[in-house]
Structure 1
Amino acid sequence: MIRFIGARILYVIPTLFAISLISYFIIQLPPGDFLTSQIASLEQQGQTLDPAYVDALRQRYGIGEPFWVQYGKWMGGILFEGDLGQSFEYGRPVTALIAERLPLTLILGVTTLIFTWVIALTAGVYSAVKQRSFADYAISTVGFIALAIPNFLAALLLAYAGFTLFGASIGGLFSPEYANAPWSWGKVIDLMNHLWIPVLVIGLAGTAGIIRVTRANLLDELPKPYVVTARAKGLPEGKIIRKYPLRIALNPFISTAGWHLPSLFDGEVIVAQVLALGTTGPLLLGALKSQDMYLAGGIILIIAVLTVIGTLMSDILLAVVDPRVRFGKA
């Protein structure tokens, strides 16, 4: 087991280096840079900037330097100082901008993850056990509808329903009077009143997908001989399902459980934009649109690191649950 974990950890180091290099390269692929975009925007408004001032900004942020020099400075600041760089658009450290939105992002992500797994696994197991029943058909129908509806459209519909039926304000995670207020029980309750819409929207498609996979995996295990033998011995049906086929049916979810880790950080970008949520998703989208390369690169790098760490955690959990993984030749 220790050898298995050590080998997986050794794979992480070159993977992270490659991801950081590719991410930084992709961010710089669009023509121009942040200053070029800002100059064009100001010229459209009839304003101009002193060329000397523009050159000074280019030298300050190293925009005119070669790719390898910029990448080296960026990675050097991250590795030795824990500094993700300075945001061009906001004129503030990237770490400070991310830290401001991180608490709400984590609250939304964790709540969505719990909602998705509790509802999906329960519905998937029930649908498989009650195959071809009315409940099975109803769960399958709702699941297909959830998969077919785009998240941004569901966000708009639920926001409208929340406003007309329950009086909840459209957009954001807080009412206007609580947006900038210090934390209190009133603000927590207000957050709960607004949180259900993005949780339901973001978890909708994920829940439907997990239901379908759980149902298919469990239906594949239920007719197998070891289940038939357990029934022949007189074991209760609930104990048979929990102890044997369900554990094997959950292997695909254990192997991909770590992929949910980056979703706790970035959430659903388009849904967050539609609902005006104060999470890191809209921050990343705005950074990409304005070519704020340090802000965009920092968020993408964090998401990539969380993806790699999550995959490592999934591999370890799967090896613990299924001995065939750690003793396999593949």
Structure 2
Amino acid sequence: MLTFLVRRLLLMVVTLFAISLVSFFVVSLPPGDYVSTLEAQAEARGELMSDGELAALRARYGLDQPFFAQYWKWITNIVLHGDFGQAFAWNGRPVSDLIWDRVGLSFFLSVSTLLFVWAIAFPIGILSAVRQYSAGDYLATFFGFVGMAVPEFMLALLFMYVGMRYFGQSPGGLFSPEYQDAAWNLGKLLDLASHMWLPVLIIGMSGTAGLIRITRANLLDELYKPYVVAARAKGLPEWKLLLKYPVRMSLSPFFSTVGWLLPGLISGETIISIVMSLPTTGPLLLGGVENQDMYLVGSFVLILSTLTVVGTLISDLMLAWWDPRIRYRYEGK
């Protein structure tokens, strides 16, 4: 197991280096740069920027340097100093400040959604498998198909229309106007909780529906295996048999993908955040792409890639801990 862990850590370093190089290259691919975006915006307002102004801006942001010089400066500052560079469109504000200002809300929203999905999906999925072809199973199946088929942004638009049409207020945002710029206190926290339930419901809809289907299918695959039949023949109580053996084994696919949730905790749901005006990291990333802000977008991609690689490692370790068969395979037994 230790050899496996060391090998994976070394591969992580190489993978992250390759990801950082490719992501920085992809961000630099579109024609022009941030200064070109500024020039186009000025022309749209009927203003003209001189060649001297454009050259001075490119020199200020280091955009006049070759690609590898820009990349090397960016990646070495991250590794040695934890400096992700400056965000061009935010008056040179540090990228790390912009990202971490919104990470808290994104993290809170994602964790709340995750707990909501688990609390709803696992019991329904287990009940649907145990009571196969019952009315509850058909209802859960119908909900699963509808939840996976309906786009989340459509649900958000529907709730916003209903809120404006029948209640005279938009359910968008995470705070009331009086708490928007207020310092954190108990009132602001309660106001956040009162606005949080709707985004959690909308974002968690498809995740709940999908996890119900996965849990049901995995459990049905385990319920009729010989070891379950043998345990039932020994007189083990049905509920104890269910929880001790088939439910445990059916959760292996869940552990194999739980690490993928790490990048989701930071990235959040970009489209939902834009539709509902949520101050999370998703709209910030979209704004960076629109402005060709290579340091902001490159830092986002690097952070999300790092979380994905680390999450995959965590999934592998959790799966080896949960399922002894996989652990023995890692250890070469």
Length-normalised TM-score, structure 1: 0.96
1:192-271 to 2 correspondences below 5 Å: 192-271=193-272
Aligned ranges 1:84-95 → 2 under 5 Å: 84-91=84-91, 92-95=93-96
Query: Residues 12-161 of structure 1: matches in 2 within 5 Å?
Result: 12-91=12-91, 92-161=93-162
**Separation in structure 2 between the aligned mates of residue 164 and residue 63 of structure 1, nearest angstrom:** 49
Counterpart residue type for residue 179 of structure 2: Y
Q: How does 1:268-279 map to 2 (within 5 A)?
A: 268-279=269-280
Q: In the alignment, what sits opposite 1:186?
A: 187
Report the 3-state secondary structure (helix = DSSP H, G, I; strand = E; otherwise coil) of the residue aligned with 1:89.
helix
Q: Which moved more, 1:195-204 or 1:254-263?
A: 195-204
> Do the aligned partners of 1:168 and 1:193 also contact (CA within 8 Å) in 2?
no
* CA shift for structure 1 position 21: 0.9
Check whether the contact 2:164–2:170 (CA below 8 A) recurs between aligned residues: yes
Q: Cα–Cα, structure 1 residues 328 and 168, in superposed 2: closer, same or farther, change >3 Å?
A: farther
Q: Distance in 2 between matches of 1:17 and 1:158?
A: 43
* Displacement after TM superposition at 1:227 (Å): 0.7
Provide the rounded CA distance (Å) in 2 between the counterparts of 1:169 and 1:111: 21
Deviations 1:94-141 (A, max 9, x none): 011112111111110110111112211111111101111111111110
Contact 1:258/1:307 (<8 A) preserved: yes
Shift of 1:168: 5.9
- 1:219 Cα deviation from its structure 2 partner: 0.2
- Checking the alignment, whether the CA contact within 8 Å between 1:171 and 1:277 is kept in structure 2 is yes
* Counterpart AA for 1:222: L
Q: Matches of 2:133 and 2:5 in 1, distance apart? A: 43
* Contact residue 168 and residue 194 of structure 1 kept, 8 A: no
Rate the CA distance shift 1:156–1:14 in 2: closer, same or farther, 3 A. same
What do the CA deviations read for 1:14-38 (whole angstroms, capped 9, x no partner)? 1111111111111111111111011
2:289/2:297 contact within 8 Å kept: yes
Whether the aligned pair in 2 keeps the contact of 1:4 and 1:326 (CA below 8 Å) is no
- Matched residues in 2 for 1:98 and 1:296: separation? 11
Distance in 2 (CA, whole Å) between partners of 1:132 and 1:138 is 10
Unaligned runs of 5+ in 2: none
Please say which of residues 163-172 and 284-293 is displaced more in the overlay.
Answer: 163-172
Q: Deviations over 1:294-330 (max 9, x none)?
A: 1111111111111111001001111111233233379
Q: Deviations over 1:40-98 (max 9, x none)?
A: 11111111223222211211222122111111010011011100000000020001111
Q: Distance in 1 between matches of 2:241 and 2:226?
A: 12
- Which residue does the alignment assign to 1:3? 3
**Which secondary structure does the structure 1 equivalent of 2:87 belong to?**
coil
| Maintained 8 Å contact 1:159/1:197 | no
Q: Is the 8 A contact 1:110 1:264 kept in 2?
A: yes
Tell me the distance in 1 between the aligned counterparts of 2:111 and 2:22. Answer: 29
Query: How far apart, CA to CA, are the structure 1 residues paired with 2:136 and 2:67?
Result: 58
Contact 2:87/2:293 (8 A) holds in 1: yes
The CA distance in 2 between the partners of 1:166 and 1:11, in whole Å, is 54
Rounded to whole Å, the distance in 2 between the matches of 1:106 and 1:236 is 41
Give the gaps of 5 or more residues in structure 1.
Answer: none
One-letter code aligned to 1:233: K
Change (3 A) 1:32 1:116: same
2: CA distance between counterparts of 1:165 and 1:304? Answer: 43
Could you say what secondary structure the match of 1:234 adopts? coil
Change (3 A) 1:161 1:185: farther
Is the CA contact (8 Å cut-off) linking 1:269 and 1:281 kept in structure 2?
yes
CA distance in 1, matches of 2:166, 2:276: 17
- Aligned AA for 2:72? G
| Percentage identity across paired residues of the two chains | 53
1:40/1:141 Cα in 2 relative to 1: closer, same or farther (>3 Å)? same
8 A Cα contact 2:159 2:171, kept in partner: no
Amino acid aligned to 1:287: G
- Over aligned residues, Cα RMSD in angstroms? 1.5
Q: Does 1:174 align with 2:175?
A: yes
Distance 2:185 2:166 in 1: 26
Change (3 A) 1:223 1:166: farther
1:25 aligns to what SS in structure 2? helix
Is the Cα contact below 8 Å between 1:101 and 1:279 reproduced in 2?
A: yes
Count of matched residue pairs:
330
Tell me how far 1:185 sits from its aligned partner.
2.0
